[in-house]
Amino acid sequence: MNEQADRRAPLWIVGIFSSVIWGAGQLLNKQFLKGFIFFCIFAGSIAVEILTGNYGSMPHGFSLRENGGFFLKGVWGLVTLGTQPRKMGITGLTEGDHSIVLMVNGIIAVMVIAILLFFYIWNIRDAVNGRKRIIQTGVWQTSTEYFKKLWESMYAYIVLSPSILLLLFVSLLPIVFGVLIAFTDYTRNNIPPTKLIHWVGLDNFITVTQVFSWMHTFLGVLSWTIVWAILATVTTYFLGFFQAVLINSPRVKFKKLWRSIYILPWAIPGMVSALVFKSMFNGQFGPVSQFLVDIGLTSERIFWFTDPSNTTLARVMALIINLWLGFPYFMALIGGTLTNISDSYYEAARIDGATSGQMFWKITFPIVYKATAPLLTMSFVSNFNNFGVIYFLTGGGPANPNYNFAGSTDLLITWLYKLTLDNRLYNMGAVMSIIVFFIVGTFSLWNLRKSKTFEEL
């Protein structure tokens, strides 16, 4: 009789039960363990809020800052970024708000709230769906059966959980934080805990686009970054291609020996090579300048990377050295593709009387290009963000007095480094990061759109 009545309890009642008290709907469905677990999550998060807060003493009434717990104070902190800075007193720093700590705690609180919201909706939907099944089939599924099924479908999540945790807290959380910093006044003049940070809306973006010196620097650095990325990719690709074709030629003996020599720059850690070149081309003490003076080619030493009157020299040198560093990868890659091209193509072409130049441009090049095109995009992106070569080789120099904190060979990524680490203009650095992300992201997505991967998704 009772069971009969329960079965007739409509869907929405169960839903409302679960939406008011988590797990109550499951109780009506006689899934006691499941209901209890949902209830525990519900009670647990309330307990966390109460225990981490200060709900016992409220002499001045309730305030989020004084009394709020993990969730409420977290959200409060994220919204306000603190109201009272810490001050230097006789006994050291006074109690106060640390804007950055508040912000990070706030982001974590919001992330946890999002996860709880997910459980909350799951809880309601589960109660309603469970009831629906009972009405339709008349079978009462026990919690144990449910969990058995759940465990099987959970295997993928369990295996994935280390990845998810790492990505949430070491990748996503910092990215959210970094993006938020772009909308604040967090600079060297505003270092917590003795100063508070404030939300400034789009002010930093307006500064970059409206203030001439910033816009000038940004456009200058951006256009050089694009020129650099294109030239660095194209030169390494074609030299790699050229060497691969030469080694592959039937006229050449000891192919393995040549290949082992040319692969060296790829195998040596890039940072070491860049620092070695920086020393070789050191203007004052480096052997290359000295050699040129000794043989009488130049009358005085050449300051390869530091001569402000000759920025083109520094840029060309950086490209040449990047060529040294970068071509072996393409050479190895294209070498592999070349050996896979069937000889029958060339034989057919030879019978038709094609010259070797024609054979190269009509057969070899299209086949290799098709096989390596995706890697060209990847190479472009990695050159766009090629911190290593520029930072270690030129340090961004020669200095450019017209730029804000940037030199003539600085790429966006090295400028960003200087803005944040050397000059502690964290907010401007964050603005640049967002811009870099949009450029790289658009380019990658545009390229990916055509690929097989995207269709699979």
Partner 1 sequence: MNNKRKSHSGKWKTALIYLELIVMALVIIYPVIWIVGSSFGSSKGLANASAIPANPTLQNFKDLLTKTDFPLWYMNTLKVAFANMFFGVLISTLGAYAFSRFKFKGKRAGLLSILILQMFPTFLTAIAVYMLFLNFGLLNSLTGLIVVGVAAQLPYNLWLLKGYLDGISPSFDEAALIDGASRTQIFVRVILPLASPMLTFVAVTQFAAPWMDFILPKLLISSEEKKTVAIGLFSMISDETRNEFTLFAAGAVLVAVPIAALYIALQKYLINGLTAGGDKG
* Out of 150, 271, 348, 399, the residue judged to bind partner 1 by CB under 8 A: 271
CB of 323 to partner 1, least distance (A): 10
Closest CB to partner 1 among residues 44, 336: 336
Closest CB to partner 1 among 13 and 246? 246
Q: Strand 88-89 vs strand 92-93: parallel, antiparallel, or unpaired?
A: antiparallel
Near partner 1 by CB under 8 A: residue from 81, 333, 368, 428: 333
**Cβ closest to partner 1, residue 171 vs residue 298:** 171
Binding mask 150-169 for partner 1 (x = CB under 8 A): ---x-xxx-xx-xx--xx-x
Q: Among residues 139, 267, 297, 351, which is the contact residue for partner 1, using CB under 8 A? A: 267
Position 290 contacts partner 1 (CB under 8 A):
yes
Q: Which is nearer to partner 1, 398 or 429 (CB)?
A: 429
Pick the closer one to partner 1 by CB: 28 or 425.
425
Q: If binding means CB under 8 A, how many residues of this protein chain bind partner 1?
A: 92
Q: How far is the CB of 328 from partner 1 (least distance, A)?
A: 8
Asked if 170 touches partner 1 (CB under 8 A), the answer is: yes
Altogether, the residues listed in the chain come to a count of 457
| 329 within 8 A of 383, measured Cβ to Cβ | no
Residue 287 in the binding site for partner 1 (CB under 8 A): yes
Shortest distance, position 177 Cβ to partner 1, whole Å: 4
The alpha carbon of residue 77 and the mean position of all alpha carbons in its chain are separated, in whole angstroms, by 26
For residue 125, what is the enclosing H or E element? helix 99-137
Which positions from 416 through 435 interact with partner 1, judged by CB under 8 A?
416-417, 420-421, 426, 429-430, 433-434
The minimum distance between CB 100 and partner 1, in angstroms, equals 5
DSSP per-residue letters across 178-219: HHHHTTB--STTS-TTTS---B-TTHHHHHHHHSHHHHHHHH
Q: Are 195 and 85 in contact (CB under 8 A)?
A: yes
Cα dist. 10→23, 120, 129, 259, 309 in Å?
17, 20, 12, 76, 83
| Placement of tokens 């034989």 in the chain | 347
And the tokens for 283? 């203007």
Regarding 304 and contact with partner 1 (CB under 8 A), the answer is no
Q: Does 173 sit near partner 1 (CB under 8 A)?
A: yes
Answer positive or negative: Cα dihedral of 360, 361, 365, 367.
negative
* Sole window of 30-38, 126-134, 307-315, 324-332 interacting with partner 1 (rule: CB under 8 A): 324-332
Question: Which of residues 313 and 440 has its CB atom nearest to partner 1 in the complex?
Answer: 440
> Residue with structure tokens 């964050």?
430
Q: Is the dihedral of CA 62, 65, 66, 70 positive or negative?
A: positive
Site string for partner 1, 358-387 (x = CB under 8 A): --------------x-xx-xx------x-x
Site for partner 1 contains 104 (CB under 8 A):
yes
- Out of 64, 113, 263, 292, the residue judged to bind partner 1 by CB under 8 A: 263
- Does position 226 interact with partner 1 (CB under 8 A)? The reply is no
Helix and strand element counts for the chain (H, E):
23, 2
How many other CB atoms are found less than 10 A from the CB of residue 48? 14
H or E, element range at 88: strand 88-89
Q: Does 451 bind partner 1 (CB under 8 A)?
A: yes
Question: If binding is defined by CB under 8 A, does position 440 make contact with partner 1?
Answer: yes
Retrieve residue 206's tokens. 């307006």
Angstrom distance (rounded) from CA 279 to CA 304: 11
220 or 265, CB closer to partner 1? 265
E runs forming strands in 92-173: 92-93
